Amino acid sequence: MKIRKSLSASIIALLVLLITGSACQKEEENTIMPSITIYKEAGYVSTDTSMMAGEEIRLKIMLKGGDFNITNFVIEVLSEGSEKIYFDTGMNTSSVLWHGSFLKSSAPSERWQFKLSDREGNSALAGFTITLDTGNSYRPLISYASTVLGAQENEQTGGCLDIIGPAAYFHHEVAVDVILQEKTDILYYYFGDDENTIASPGANIEDEVFTVNPANWTIVNTTRYIKTSLSANDFDNALNDSIILANYNEGDAKRKAKNLRANDIYTFRTHDGKLGMFHVNEVTGTTDGSININIKIQE
C-alpha cells in the first residue's frame, strides 16, 4: 500500500514538473522581442542604395520594445575593414520614433547596421548597404581669410559666428535675438583645461563660461569638428570639398575643438549639413583674448 502511494506521488510530481516545464517553455517561446522598422518614405534612406560623397543620409526609424522596455540604440558603419560607431544612446521606453541625418563618406561601400536591445538583453538588428556613386562632382569652396573671433570677455570683437557672411556677434546680442541664434554655427571662448575652444551652442558648454548658457537659447545649433593632420599648404590649395570629405568622419566628430594652437586644422559639419574646414592663424590671450582663423566652406 505504501509503495502504491509513493508511486502515485512520484507520478504526480513528474506530471507537475512536465506541465511546469512545458508552460515555461511556452512562455519563453512567446516572448515578444524588440523590433526596428526603417521607414520607406521619400527623402529617407531605407534599403541598399548608391549615393555621392557628401550627400545627406536621412533616416527615420521606429524603435519598439516587446515584453520589456528598450534601453540602447546603436548605429555602426562598417567599411574597408573599419568599424565606426556613428550613434550610441541609452533610453528606457516602450517605443520611440527616431530621426537622424549623416553624410555619405568617400568609402566605396558602407554597411549601416542598426542595433536595438531591451533591458533583458533581447536584441533586434536591421541595416542596408550604401555604395559610392562615382559620378560625383565635388562642390567648390568659399574662402574667408583672417576671420577674428573674440573670447567671452572680449569687448572689442564678438565670438558668435555666422559663417555665411561671415559676421561675428557678441554673445549678449545673440542671447536675446532669435534671428542671430539661427545664424550662429560657431562660437569661441576660453575656459578651464580646454583653454581656447571653438564649439557651437549645442556643445554642452559649461555654465560658468557665459552669462546665459547657449543651451538655453531658443534656437540651439550644433556643429561637429574633427582635428586633422593636414598642412597649411593642403588647406591653402583646397579648391573643392574632396579634401574635407576625406578628412571628416561622422563617427569621430566632436562638439568641441579644444586647446587650439596656431596651425591647427579642423574639418567641421554645421547643423544644416554644410561641410567646412578652418585653419588657426593665431591665438591671443585668454577669456578676453581672440582667435584668428581662415575658413573654407561648401558653396
Using alpha carbons, list the distances in angstroms from residue 207 to 214, 265, 290: 9, 27, 20
Compute the chain's Rg from CA coordinates. 27
| Per-residue pLDDT tens digits for 17-70 | 555 555 555 445 678 999 999 999 999 999 999 998 888 999 999 999 999 999
CA 157 centroid distance within chain: 30
* pLDDT, tens only, 76-104: 999 987 899 999 999 999 999 999 999 88
Question: What's the pLDDT score for residue 88?
Answer: 94
With contact defined as beta carbons under 8 Å apart, do 290 and 148 qualify?
Answer: yes
**What pLDDT score was predicted for residue 100?**
92
**Residue 157: CB atoms within 10 Å:** 16
87 close to 73: Cβ distance less than 8 angstroms: yes
Element (H, E) at 191: strand 186-191
C-beta of residue 253 within 8 angstroms of C-beta of residue 259: no
Q: What is the pLDDT of residue 17?
A: 56
Q: How many angstroms from the chain centroid is the CA of residue 20? A: 48
**Which residues in the chain come in under a pLDDT of 70?**
1-29, 136
pLDDT confidence of residue 229:
96
| pLDDT at site 197 | 98
Report the SS3 class of residue 122. Answer: coil
DSSP state of 164: T
